[in-house]
A and B are shown apart, each in its own frame.
Chain A
């Protein structure tokens, strides 16, 4: 660095610039870094705080959810649908050809093997965040009243403006009747 500065000094106002140019650029660079360092806390304070991040998981008793029923629970401030699908609904979801889907995903990838009837999804339309209505829409699954997105019995987007399938939250079965989400 000092070599460059010396060179600049010697080449007065040559193509390489002067020592003063070097000082200007260096000062400017430090100012940019300094301003960025001051701005970042102002921006980052708006991100989720420690208490919001701490709301990790929720445990649910699913023993009362009969076949064909569904419940909605709250996780991280969002609704989560737990639907005990009928065999017919699972069959309908499995028989859909992949090329008919907007966001192709096999039904087996959306439920846990051995408990395929239980479909657990974040109940937030992937379009603009409304809560879709259950047992509605043209595909027997969910229908979002806000902007008309239709989801099938696997919660996959079939028609309407939503780009993605309803999201699957991280979850595991603690026992036969207890589910932990998050």
Chain B
């Protein structure tokens, strides 16, 4: 937390010299070594660290892929095949990058759902949450533009459909789309600018991540109880405790990641994207990458063009106001029995929406999409505001320490008033 005093103590002369001039090592020490984290963090809390590692991996592999890729409508497809066949380790770098995008989204969805479960968006962490939603939007833009670069059929038609979303805007829609394209259809200018932006946006994400971590370190982490840190015994230093836990989770995550890279490298992609882009033929069944499917289902659920686009963007925009929609004073779903049920229903609804997004837009699928879309919005706009009023929550533990050590602690150390010093080393 911002309040904790620095325990950084440079030993050698050079570090002391630097500390007086640019205390960067002190900042790192205070943020990632001595920084106190709640002692009861579970593995759901390890995905934030994973996400920052994924961003680094994507930037490193992306920069080297850009050394071989050619952003030209005539050459892009072949340059990707050149990377796959001729460039030393090109196949590995590309598969790490393309599957990295999927892994990035798996991690971010776990991270977001963890936030929803434990009420991480609630006061005083609204800005932290909103910055996270901004990062999510930037990730979506980056992933979308990256998928266009190989210039296969799915690249081309995905780009066409997504840019056409803006044509739903009244009055200026068509001019905006023409401006985005730099022409009258998706073509060379579009590919070129998408490449430029695909290279830029990850660095913007990195910038917002710094703000996100800053905001996190001002308010401190939430934890599975949702009870704020009150005393020193509630926390542990980031290193080694959180560092080791994050590292172990990362290794497990890398096992899954490697399994995709080495054994199922194209499982999460589409075969159609190995057909060069053809502006005259749309593939019979176009679908976005899996991580966009729930939003795609919402888009297609609405029989009206503008309505569909508004709801699709609205499904993410609603996250920005989530801190004010959830009226419950209790943070964690562990102490909100009714919310916990609705949370898991919501998880299922989101997954089913994703499945519906992968199906053709016809018959029963459309009807089901409408029902699940309605529920998606009802969860945020009706259930969450009402639950806060009507839900009977369970009693909260007095402190994180009590929740971890249980009754034996409160008997042994006597029930302490919240915030009181529990042990001599506590400084508050």
Please tell me if A36 contacts chain B, counting CB pairs below 8 Å. no
Bound form: Cα–Cα A129–B187 in Å? 13
Residues B300 and A161 in contact, CB atoms below 8 Å apart: yes
B258 near A: Cβ within 8 Å? no
**B residues 139-176 with Cβ under 8 Å of A?**
157, 160-165, 167
Assuming the A-B contacts A72-B280, A78-B279, A160-B303, are A145 and B285 also in contact, with contact meaning beta carbons closer than 8 angstroms in the complex? yes
Stretch at the interface among A27-35, A46-54, A113-121, A172-180: A46-54
Does B361 lie within 8 Å of A147, measured CB to CB? yes
In the assembled complex, the Cα of A154 lies from the Cα of B180 at a distance in Å of 30
Contact A48 B300 (CB under 8 A): no
Q: Indicate if the CB atoms of B184 and A48 lie closer than 8 Å.
A: yes
Which among A46, A49, A126, A163 has the highest number of chain B CB atoms within 10 Å? A46
| In the assembled complex, A94 has its CB within 8 A of some CB on chain B | no
B157, B183, B281: which contacts A52 (Cβ < 8 A)?
B183
The answer to whether B302 has its CB under 8 Å from any CB of chain A is yes
Chain B residues 206-259 with CB under 8 Å of chain A are: none
Give the residues in chain A near B425, CB-CB below 8 Å: none
Q: In angstroms, how far is the closest chain A Cβ from the Cβ of B155?
A: 14
A-B CB contacts (within 8 Å), total count = 94
B286 within 8 A of A: yes
Q: Which residues of A contact B281 (CB under 8 A)?
A: 131
Give Cα distance in the complex from A123 to B189, angstroms: 21
What's the Cα separation between A161 and B178 when bound, in Å?
A: 21
Would you call A128 an interface residue if the criterion is a C-beta within 8 Å of the partner chain's C-beta atoms?
yes
B161 touches A128 (CB 8 A): yes
CB-defined contacts of A131 to chain B, threshold 8 Å: 280-282
User: Quick check: B184 and A74 within 8 Å, CB to CB?
Assistant: no
- Other-chain residue from A52, A123, A148, A162 in contact with B305 (beta carbon distance below 8 A): A162
Q: Which of B182, B185, B300 contacts A49 (CB 8 A)?
A: B182
Q: A163–B305 contact, CB under 8 A?
A: yes
Residue among B182, B183, B186, B187 with max Cβ neighbours from chain A (10 Å): B183
Size of chain A's interface in residues, with CB distance under 8 A?
A: 28
Task: Give Cα distance in the complex from A160 to B163, angstroms.
Answer: 19
> Is A108 located at the chain interface by the 8 A CB criterion?
no
Q: When chains A and B are docked, how far (Å) is the Cα of A83 from the Cα of B261? A: 47
The answer to the question of B304 belonging to the interface, with a C-beta cut-off of 8 Å to chain A, is: yes
Q: Which residues of A contact B107 (CB under 8 A)?
A: none
Q: In the bound complex, how far is the Cα of B163 from the Cα of A19, in angstroms?
A: 50
- B302 — nearest CB in chain A belongs to which residue? A161
A74 engages B178 (CB within 8 Å)? no
With A49-B189, A76-B184, A147-B300 already in contact, the answer to whether A129 and B164 are too (CB < 8 A) is: yes
Of B164, B187, B279, B302, the contact of A128 (CB 8 Å cutoff) = B164
For A123, list chain B residues within 8 Å (CB). 280
The CA-CA distance from A74 to B183 in the complex, in Å, is 14
A163 CB contacts on chain B under 8 angstroms: 304-306
- Chain A residues 115-145 with CB under 8 Å of chain B are 123, 126-131, 144-145
* Closest B residue, CB atoms, query A78: B185
Residue B119 interfacial (CB < 8 Å): no
A79 interface residue per 8 A CB criterion: yes
Min Cβ gap B307→A in Å is 9
Could you give, for residues 14-52 of chain B, a 1 whenever the CB lies within 8 Å of some chain A CB and a 0 otherwise?
A: 000000000000000000000000000000000000000
List 20 other contacts, CB 8 Å, given A148-B360, A161-B305.
A47-B178, A74-B279, A76-B184, A78-B185, A128-B161, A128-B162, A128-B165, A128-B167, A129-B161, A131-B280, A131-B281, A145-B286, A146-B157, A146-B161, A148-B361, A161-B302, A161-B304, A161-B308, A162-B305, A163-B305
* A-B CB proximity, top 7 nearest: A77-B185, A129-B164, A128-B164, A148-B361, A130-B282, A128-B161, A131-B282
**Contact surface of A with B, Cβ cutoff 8 Å:** 43, 46-49, 52, 72, 74, 76-79, 123, 126-131, 144-148, 160-163
Name B's A-contacting residues (CB within 8 A). Answer: 157, 160-165, 167, 178-187, 189, 193, 279-286, 299-300, 302-306, 308, 360-362, 366
In the complex, 6 of the A-B residue pairs with CB atoms within 8 angstroms, ordered by the A residue number, are A47-B179, A77-B184, A128-B162, A145-B282, A145-B283, A146-B157
